[in-house]
Chains A and B, each alone.
Chain A
Amino acid sequence: MAKPSVVSGAVIDGFAVGECVHHGGMATLWSVTHPNITVPLLMKIPRVSEGEDPAAIVSFEMEQMLLPRLSGPHVPACFGTGDFAHQAYVVIERIPGKTLYSRLEELPLGYEEARGIVQKIALALADLHRQNVIHHDIKPSSIMFRPSGEVVLIDFGLSHHNQLPDLLQEEFRLPYGTAPYMAPERLLGVRDDPRSDLFSLGVLLYFFTTGVRPFGESETNARHAAAAVARPASPA
């Protein structure tokens, strides 16, 4: 595991760094505080040391560019960003609770409950698309809930903004994302169609109501491509 580039107790642009709360493949998450901000905060720091996946840098850059532009209840509020020239970070509102991934062991859910969850995600996606952004990694671990019940979408590292440069456009030969949820057009390199998110949402609905993913569990794009043209079994 790469050594984190910050340590607990450091102060970065006025943000006091607390404990490390998550070590992910792309980034580490730290609890931080700021004297002028009362809401709980997280600092996300990309893993950029030698040998790390270059996707970590590019997906961080996308978040650095997108998060300050987004607003509303369905995204975490952004309170600051730092550049690679000094210390790369984004500071966002810390959403309490767990992601929807924590419900996987309860699957299949009853239809009404699953429908209610998906309806809330659809509302969040509509708000995101209205802000010219396609998420491109809709899956249970990208979805959280506010105490009021509204969905909050997280992890915008693979996202596309219709009015900003798409940094992932030419960076990788193969589409980046989560294969079982990825829309077929993504395999062709299409990144500007909001319906790609709705495809992923459909996969999630099928999964949550049946307990199995409609196009299988394959994590490879090639196998997923073959599965995506097949017709899934009816959930009924």
Chain B
Amino acid sequence: MLLAFFADIHANRQAFSACLDFARARGAERLICLGDYVGYGADPEWTVETVMGLVDSGAMAVGGNHDNAISSTESMNAQAQAAIEWTRGRLSAVQRGFLADLPLTLHEEDRFYVHSEASYPAKWRYVQDSSDAARSIQATSAQITFCGHIHQPALYSMSSAAKMTSFVPTSGVPVQLLGGRRWLAVVGSVGQPRDGDSAACFAMFDTNSREITYCRVPYDVEAAAKRIRENGLPLWLADRLLLGR
């Protein structure tokens, strides 16, 4: 079965639409959404409605820190907080309820799904290096953990001797996740990439061949940035989409 993983969509309608089209055109059979559907971007209603529709059709979804912030008093940095407060007023009660009820983790077969990392999902720690990845891998019994949160694609593995490897994936090149080691796949960000590439990022995993492929999808970045400016959100949130930062 071909799985598609989307993380950090951040209310970017143009980017999410492009990634969904790309994944479906390549035969994705099951969609897994890894959190942060809202925040930063200017189309939260459409994005949450779309994710709700996907879940109704069999997709899986976990919650992220921005989704959690809609119904909590937890403070974020000034620009993120401004976007959250703006978003809160846009969402319906049903949409807010959907976000509030999202689980922080899910698992199926030998795979674990979480927005941030597995050792303490509600602490929203970033996986920034091999030691962060090792902590997450050791917190589960899953062979593969899929996560987002840091907005930069990465692939970590732990050998049978508990030695780590880290790797920045090449778009479009499948990597076989060998059965003799455990893996942490950080799938990159759909709606606000921060690795210097403005193209939307998501990952596909083939459960038969055990291959993961990171995908970069060019989309109408200017239209997404324009929506942010039109709605009076902080201008940097528009500019950073163009820069991929």
Contact = CB atoms under 8 A, between A and B. Distances in A.
Contact of A169 (B165, B173, B178): B165
Interface string B161-180: 10111110010010110111
Interface stretch (A53-61, A116-124, A150-158): A53-61
B180 A83 contact: yes
B72 interface: no
Interface in A15-71: 54, 57-58, 61, 64-65
Contact of A61 (B155, B164, B166, B180): B180
B159 A171 contact: yes
Contact of B175 (A84, A165, A169): A165
Contact of A165 (B160, B161, B167, B179): B167
B181 A164 contact: no
Contact of A57 (B160, B164, B170): B160
A205 to B, nearest CB: 33
Given A170-B130, A170-B164, A165 B180 contact: no
A200 B43 CA distance: 57
B165 A167 contact: yes
Given A163-B173, A170-B130, A64 B163 contact: no
Contacts of A167: 157, 159, 165, 181
Interface in B58-101: none
A61 B181 contact: yes
A26 B245 CA distance: 45
A167 B161 CA distance: 12
B161 A54 contact: yes
Nearest to A85: B179
B178 A65 contact: yes
A166 interface: yes
Contact of A84 (B130, B167, B179): B179
Contacts of B164: 170
Contact of A83 (B157, B167, B178): B178
Contact of A164 (B161, B166, B175): B175
Contact of B159 (A58, A65, A83): A58
A171 B130 CA distance: 13
A88 interface: yes
Contacts of B175: 65, 164-165
A22 B107 CA distance: 43
Nearest to A68: B176
A164 B167 CA distance: 8
A169 B164 CA distance: 9
Contacts of B166: 169-170
Among B130, B155, B163, the one with the most A-chain Cβ atoms within 10 Å of its Cβ is B163
A88 B163 contact: no
Contacts of B167: 164-166
Contacts of B179: 83-85
B70 to A, nearest CB: 37
Contacts of A85: 179-180
A165 B173 contact: no
Nearest to B171: A163
A170 B163 CA distance: 7
Given A57-B161, A164-B173, A167-B159, 7 more contacts: A54-B160, A61-B180, A65-B176, A165-B157, A170-B163, A170-B164, A171-B165
The 5 closest A-B pairs by CB, nearest first: A84-B180, A83-B179, A165-B167, A85-B179, A163-B170
Interface of B: 130, 155, 157, 159-161, 163-167, 170, 173, 175-176, 178-181
